[in-house]
């Protein structure tokens, strides 16, 4: 953590005690505490609190402190976002406000009664649950024996994002950079920074016979789908062709409905071939003549040439095709959990809204960070998630602190999935493992480990 009491850049004026007092008010007063301010809001407030000083000068001094993740007096000053989307927040640095841990520089920590997160797990803001949110059930263990104990025809929609069989370990490393003239990194305007590794998460993505691994799990997916249910299998170019042949054998070739291409533009470029910047999502319906497709729930996208279609159509937008353009999960965004290969909520929410209905039962048996669980539950679906990774379970514990969520070990799985009901606000679960949240209302989780 860098503490900045009197930063001066490029000959700027030293920070006056009056500004320190004003910022202290922003961090403590109930009118301002906990809020994030854009530049225009701060300029207005500063002009009111310190009318004798130029607001732009005061703001530039605040911005310098925020970019250094520093303090003005006893007030922690932070910024989040980029360019015009940047916001600024203020908290009491000594009064239990935002954590001073370097891993928490952009988001408050979710506190609970258990030990702190392991270094491999990135801290992040737990999403708020809408009042109509569905129930989430998380099973920890090997997905194949767990699925074998589910009742037939018990799920309306299955989405899975299994390992892609890349032949290497999938890993994410979290780092912190600090200004250091002898540092190992060079940044903007040639400034040097020292890198500190905060944690690493990874899993092995290597299979000698991928289809032998996947086939029994897809057999079970077919068994537990309802007669009008759909399966979405998310892979990439390495294995998607083998998986399609496999699904043709299990579901029947007539049950293939679409191959969705999710395109994105992020990361390094190849110099020896066309850079691979898309994933493949196969959609199979158990009954190709009876499946859920809510056309009115499709989110609209802008016309590329709106002047050619008229004002009414341009205002309404058009429906996407089977080629979807969507950015990856932002490395610095609120959605990011730090779990390797996390998929964006925008893609999963589209699948949930179009291919299921409120109250539907959803399943993801390669749950990872739980993104499909959040996408389904926030739209009133009950979601069952399965993963054998302890790191995935730990991420989901923190992610679902504001949702009604049951965690179950493999040994506690019933012979069939029983209907889940929302835990009401006045109902005390068997054991509360997440008791303090970052939002209003208390999130509750049942722990059956």
Higher pLDDT, 168 or 75: 75
More confidently predicted of 187 and 366: 366
Window from 105-114, 304-313, 353-362 with minimum mean pLDDT: 105-114
Q: What is the mean pLDDT of residues 419-424?
A: 32
Name the segment(s) of the chain with CATH classification 1.10.10.
17-98
Residue 113 or residue 270, greater confidence: 270
pLDDT at 75 (0 to 100): 81
Q: Which of 359, 448, 386, 447 is nearest to 411 (CA)?
A: 448
pLDDT tens for residues 422-441? 333 333 333 333 333 333 33
- Asked if residue 203 lies in contact with residue 163, where contact means CB atoms within 8 angstroms, the answer is yes
Question: Residue holding tokens 């049951």?
Answer: 406
pLDDT number for residue 121: 57
- In the chain, residues under CATH classification 3.40.50.150 are 136-170+201-448
Confidence bin at 229 (pLDDT 50/70/90): very high
Average pLDDT, the chain: 77
Taken in order 234, 239, 244, 250, is the CA torsion positive or negative? negative
Residue with more model confidence, 329 or 86: 329
Asked if residue 191 has pLDDT above 90, the reply is no
What CATH number should be reported for the domain whose range is 136-170+201-448?
A: 3.40.50.150
> Domain 17-98 classified CATH 1.10.10?
yes
Which pLDDT band holds residue 196 (cuts at 50, 70, 90)?
Answer: confident
The pLDDT value given to residue 78: 81
Residue that wins the pLDDT comparison between 370 and 43? 370
pLDDT-above-70 percentage for the chain: 70
Beta carbons within 10 angstroms of residue 188's beta carbon: 6
Q: Is the pLDDT of residue 87 over 70?
A: yes
The pTM of the full predicted model, rounded to 2 decimals, is 0.60
Selection from 83, 103, 193, 132 nearest residue 398 by Cα = 103
Using the predicted structure, report yes or no on whether residue 256 has a pLDDT greater than 90: yes
Beta bridge partners of 256: 284
d(CA 259, CA 241): 11
Task: List, in sequence order, every beta strand (DSSP E) within 5-104.
Answer: 71-72, 75-80, 87-92
Least confident of 122-136, 341-355, 424-438: 424-438
Residue 72 near residue 20 (C-beta atoms within 8 A): yes
Band (16; pLDDT cuts 50, 70, 90): low
Helical H runs in 204-291?
210-224, 240-251
Cβ neighbours of 118 (radius 10 Å): 11
- Per-residue confidence band for 348, with pLDDT thresholds at 50, 70 and 90: very high
d(CA 298, CA 321): 11
- The pLDDT value recorded for residue 4 is 37
Name the one residue in this structure whose structure tokens are 């291919």.
355
| Alpha carbon distance 345, 371 (integer Å) | 6
170/19: higher pLDDT: 19
């Amino acid at each position: 953590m860098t503490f900045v009491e009197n930063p001066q850049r490029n000959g700027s004026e030293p920070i006056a005690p009056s500004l320190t007092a004003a910022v202290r008010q922003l961090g403590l007063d109930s009118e301002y505490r906990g809020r994030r301010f854009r530049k225009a809001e701060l300029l207005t407030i500063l002009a009111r609190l310190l009318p004798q000083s130029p607001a732009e000068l005061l703001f530039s001094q605040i911005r310098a402190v925020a970019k250094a993740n520093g303090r003005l007096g006893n007030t922690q000053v932070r910024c989040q976002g980029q360019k015009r989307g940047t916001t600024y927040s203020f908290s009491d640095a000594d009064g239990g406000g935002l954590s001073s841990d370097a891993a928490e520089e952009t988001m408050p920590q979710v506190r609970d009664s258990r030990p702190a997160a392991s270094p491999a797990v990135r801290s992040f803001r737990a999403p708020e649950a809408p009042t109509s949110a569905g129930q989430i059930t998380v099973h920890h263990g090997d997905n194949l024996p767990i699925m074998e104990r589910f009742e037939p025809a018990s799920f309306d929609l299955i989405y899975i994002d299994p390992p892609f069989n890349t032949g290497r370990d999938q890993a994410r490393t979290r780092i912190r950079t600090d200004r250091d003239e002898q540092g190992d990194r060079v940044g903007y305007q040639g400034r040097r920074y020292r890198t500190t590794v905060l944690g690493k998460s990874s899993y092995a993505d290597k299979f000698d016979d991928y289809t032998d691994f996947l086939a029994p799990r897809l057999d079970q997916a077919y068994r537990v789908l309802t007669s009008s249910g759909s399966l979405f299998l998310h892979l990439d170019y390495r294995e998607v062709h083998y998986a399609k042949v496999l699904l043709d054998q299990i579901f029947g070739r007539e049950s293939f409905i679409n191959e969705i291409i999710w395109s994105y533009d992020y990361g390094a470029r190849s110099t020896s071939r066309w850079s691979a910047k898309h994933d493949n999502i196969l959609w199979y319906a158990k009954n190709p003549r009876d499946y859920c497709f809510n056309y009115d729930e499709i989110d609209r996208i802008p016309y590329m040439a709106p002047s050619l279609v008229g004002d009414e159509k341009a205002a309404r937008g058009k429906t996407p095709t089977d080629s979807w353009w969507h950015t990856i999960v932002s490395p610095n965004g609120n959605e990011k959990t730090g779990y390797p290969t996390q998929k964006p909520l925008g893609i999963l929410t589209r699948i949930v809204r179009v291919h299921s209905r409120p109250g539907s039962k959803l399943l993801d048996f390669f749950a990872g960070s739980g993104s499909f669980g959040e996408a389904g539950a926030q739209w009133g679906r009950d979601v069952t998630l399965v993963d054998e990774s302890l790191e995935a379970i730990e991420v989901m514990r923190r992610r679902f602190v504001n949702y009604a969520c049951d965690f179950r070990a493999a040994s506690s799985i019933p012979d069939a999935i029983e209907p889940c009901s929302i835990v009401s606000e006045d109902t005390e679960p068997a054991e509360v493992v997440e008791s303090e949240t970052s939002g209003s209302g208390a999130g509750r989780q049942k722990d059956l480990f």
